[in-house]
Amino acid sequence: MFFCIFAKISKPVDIAPNISYVLMTQEGTYLVEYLIGEVVFTSSISRAMIFSDVNIALKFKTLLYDRFKIKVSVNTYIY
């Protein structure tokens, strides 16, 4: 009974408000930048390019494969 009453008056909670995305290669390196046809990767996730929109991350994933045949995965980055 207490749970039902509490559930009615409680506010929704955003579980993970700061979800972002990074691109990771099969070798475990992360995309740092893409500038004028040059791609830079790092082994440190703290230096990775962070995407706030999953759709933009997916477009970068496609771009990297189409132009360089580099396979990456889109991974969540929670900070």
For 65, the token pair is: 């494969």
Domain range annotation of the chain: 14-78
- At residue 8, the pLDDT reads 55
In sequence order, what are the beta bridge partners of 75? 22
**Dihedral class, residue 28 (left if φ above 0, else alpha if ψ from -120 to 50, else beta):** left
Tens digit of pLDDT for each residue in 8-67?
555 555 555 678 999 999 999 999 999 988 999 999 999 999 999 999 999 999 999 999
